[in-house]
Every structure is written in C-alpha cells, then in structure tokens.
Amino acid sequence: MLHVEGGLVGGMIYLDNAETTRVDPEVVEVMRLYMLEKYGVPIGEFGSTMEEESSEVLEGAREVIARNINANPEEIVFTSGGTESNALAIKGVAHSKRHEGTKVVASKIEHLSVLDTLRGLGQGGFDTLLLDVDGEGFVDLEGVRRSVDGARLVSVQHANQEIGTLQDLKAIGEVCEEKDVLFHCDAVQSFTKEPIDVEKVGIHLLSVSSHLIHGPKGVGALFVRKGVHPEPLLLGDDREFGLRAGTPNIPGIAGFAKAVDLVNAETVERMRGLRDQAIDLLLEIEDSKLNGPRGERRLCNNVNVTFRYVEGEAVLMHADLEGLVINTGSACYSERLEVSHVIRAIGGTHEEAHGSIRLSPSKWTTGGEIVSASEILGRVVDRLRKVSPLARARRVST
C-alpha cells in the first residue's frame, strides 16, 4: 500500500524537512491508540478511569519534552504549534502585568511569527528593536549588550529557518541575565537536533514544535520558566497551569512525545554528514554560494545555496518536475512573493535573496538521494541559465 524507501514517497526525493516532515509510522500508531481506544480527556480530580489514562499520557509527554531541554515538567505548556508558542511567549510577556519594560528586542532574521508579533506590539505602543546579524547570520553580541537596557524581553532563535545559523545562546543569555531581561528562544528548527539546556543557557521561554521531527502537525510546546508569567492567549479553564485553555489534543501530544523519544544522536550525526555532502556537491556547480556558516555552528540538516543568474522559484518548479522537493526564499506561505528577509539581512543582494535554495534532509534521507538531488539541481540550473537574460548578460561581459 505505502511504498517508502529512504525519504522517498512515490518516487519523490523529499528534501524539505525544515518546512514539514513525514510523520513516523510509530508515531501514527501511538496516535491511533489515543484516537480509537483511550480517547478520554483529563477532567480534574474526579475523573473516570478513561480520563485518568489520558491524564497519565499527558503528564508523561510533559516529562519527555522537559527532559530533552533540562526543564521541569510543570514548566512545559502544550500549544497548537510553534507559531502559537512564539505568540504566547512574546505577546504573553508583553501584555503581562507582572513584568516591566516597554521594549521588546529580536534579531532581524527571526521567523516571521516572531517578527510579525513584534510588529503588532509596535503598533500597540511597544518599543521594538531589531538586532543586526553578520554575513553568516550571527547576532551581534555587542548590539545585544547596547540595546537591551530596560527591555522586557529579548527573542533570539536557536537555529535559523533558512540558513541554519546556530546562535551563541549562552553568550546572549549571559547578557540578558546581567541586564535582568527575559530571554525567549524560538527553537522550532533545532529542537532535538541540536542539544539545548535551558538551565545552563539562562533561557526563560523556549518554543518547540512537533511537525519538524516526524511528529504530528498542530502540536507544539512552550517552556515557561518558573516565575515567568505570560498572559494566556486562550482563556476558559485551568489547563496547562492556567496558561492555555482548551481540550488538550491528547493523540497529538502523545505523538509529539513519541517523536521526541525516537530521535537519537546517531540519526543527527547522519544528517550532519548528508548536509556536508550536499554542500560540497552543490558548490561544485558554477557561480554558487553557500548561505550561512559551515561546521558545528550550522544546524545539522540545513543546506542553503544561492545559484547566481537564476530565480529560486524557477529552480524549485523544475526540480519538482524531476521528482525533487526542495524550498526557496523564506519558505513561508505568502501570496506576496516577498524576497527572503534572512538573505537580505546577511547582506545578500535582491537577486541573491530571490535565488536561494534550501535543502533539508531527514533521518530517512540517503547519500544516494543527496547525489541524485545535486545532479538534478546541476541540470536544472544549467538549463535555466541558458534561457536567463541575467546569465546571458554575464556571458557577454566576460
């Protein structure tokens, strides 16, 4: 019925795992159990046997997430995903009467769910400030130090969604602690792929998501350090320590925890090898350029390359015709066709921002698929350049 080999489904090479992932069949089995058999929801102290069962799986899942980031289970709040986690952290802290300051700070290359939330706060009278990054996407630490005085919150991601830059969170955490500012980290891209210890790094709020690690869509979590009090977005009951009302998505939460359980150091190391293999092969294509850093400071499954003289969207569509699924630009849904704010922030030209291509392998990706993907991209880029006015202009001038 279902033919799967490596990352292949139906003959496709799927290298868009930073956008979303295939759910692990073991995760689906766990979800089936809680959809078809143990389908109750926790209902308080006087619950039935079914409700107690669901309460146990909920609290067990909380422990799994907490353990992964060195938090306490009662510091984990389940949400509907990374976007809600970011909103709860940033809007929640901004609107909380229990925290002070009117300034909110973030880096220029945050996910749009962070940047748009800041823009909303700005329209509501908050003072918002965006931090510059260097040519590889690293936040300027001196900039952080200069700008956070009197701030209520600093939001800096762990791994960048487009170019995979892994920020030096420990250094940022130290500045925040010194200046007594709350530190939120969007770890949606890096969760389980790159280790994080909220205690050691001094993080107050951390966003994570399920659907990028072969868990279900529609599930995420927010770590909220004891003593931090975001204002809830959703009211109506005491669930999730009073921070998130609504019937808990028990099958989704159980599936999320199972997905976390299935991650291991070996698969992460494999992805790192595939990443480096892909970077090496793609840089052999003429007039190509890596975006973001190399080595340990890059997310284990992120590859982002600009091919000059071609449009990213055209590469994407031609690759799709050859059975290769990759991504381009900001990799976020937009009717607007905006260029990548990340490539622009690291100093890329408008043309480069339009021409960047992202490949993101998963635990199921094989070395053979990376080789095939590179061959397909080589052919596609070559073909597009033959019809590109930009490339023709280049050939004439050289």
- Nearest CA-CA partner of 90 in 154, 151, 16, 26: 154
The one segment of 59-67, 199-207, 301-309, 313-321 that binds its own copies by CB under 8 A: 313-321
Contacting its own copies (CB under 8 A), which of 178, 226, 247, 286?
Answer: 247
Task: Output 224 or 254, the one with its CB closest to its own copies.
Answer: 254
> Quick one: tokens of 143?
């900039």
Stretch that binds its own copies, among 69-77, 115-123, 155-163, 166-174 (CB under 8 A): 115-123
Site string for its own copies, 259-298 (x = CB under 8 A): ----------------------------------------
- The footprint of its own copies on residues 27-46 (CB under 8 A) is 27-28, 31-32, 35-37, 39-46
Instruction: Report how far residue 68's alpha carbon sits from residue 213's, in angstroms, rounded to the nearest whole number.
Output: 13
Considering only the stretches 99-107, 160-168, 245-253, 292-300, report the one whose residues sit in contact with its own copies under the rule CB under 8 A. Answer: 245-253
In the region spanning residues 315 to 344, those forming contacts with its own copies, defined by CB under 8 A, are 316-317, 320, 325, 327-328, 331-337
Residue 201 vs 254, nearer CB to its own copies: 254
Closest approach of its own copies to the CB of residue 356, in Å: 14
Residues in the chain: 398
Contact 80, 87 (CB under 8 A): no
Residues 6+ apart with CB under 8 A from 158: 166, 167, 169, 185, 186, 187, 189, 190, 191, 194, 196
Cα angle 196, 202, 204; round to 5: 95
246: left (phi over 0), alpha (psi -120 to 50) or beta: left
Any bridge partners for residue 182, and if so which?
153
Give 319-354 as a DSSP string.
HHHTTEE-EETT-S--SS-PPPHHHHHTT--HHHHH
Is residue 250 a contact point for its own copies (CB under 8 A)?
A: yes
Single-letter code of the amino acid located at 125: G
Phi, psi (degrees; rounded to nearest 5) at 308: -65, 155
Spatial distance between the Cα atoms of 315 and 355, rounded to a whole number of angstroms: 8
CA 203 from chain centre, in angstroms, equals 17
**Quick one: which of 63, 197, 261, 313 contacts its own copies (CB under 8 A)?**
313
252 near its own copies, rule: CB under 8 A: yes
Per the CB < 8 A criterion, the answer to whether 223 and 71 are in contact is yes
Q: Which of residues 119-178 bind its own copies (CB under 8 A)?
A: 119-120
Does 114 contact its own copies by CB under 8 A? yes
Decide whether 215 or 348 has the Cβ nearer to its own copies. Answer: 215
How many residues at the interface with its own copies, by CB under 8 A?
Answer: 81
**Helix (H, G, I), strand (E, B), or coil: what is residue 247?**
coil
CB of 149 to its own copies, least distance (A): 27
Residue with tokens 């490339």: 391
Member of 18, 19, 213, 339 binding its own copies (CB under 8 A): 19
Q: Which lies closer to its own copies via its Cβ, residue 37 or residue 269?
A: 37
Query: Which residues, 52 to 111, sit near its own copies by CB under 8 A?
Result: 80-84, 86-87, 111
Q: Is 21 in the site for its own copies (CB under 8 A)?
A: yes
Residues belonging to the active site: 332
Member of 68, 107, 113, 157 binding its own copies (CB under 8 A): 113
**Closer residue to its own copies (CB): 284 or 336:** 336
Of the two residues 26 and 127, which places its CB atom closer to its own copies in the complex? 26
Q: Are 53 and 40 in contact (CB under 8 A)?
A: yes
Task: Give me the DSSP letters along 58-113.
Answer: HHHHHHHHHHHHT--GGGEEEESSHHHHHHHHHHHHHT-TTS--SEEEEETTS-HH
Site for its own copies in 173-232 (CB under 8 A): 211, 216-219
Question: By CB under 8 A, is residue 356 in contact with its own copies?
Answer: no
Q: Would you count residue 6 as binding its own copies (CB under 8 A)?
A: no
Our CB check for its own copies shows the closer of 50 and 171 to be 50
CA pair distance 133, 135, nearest whole angstrom: 7
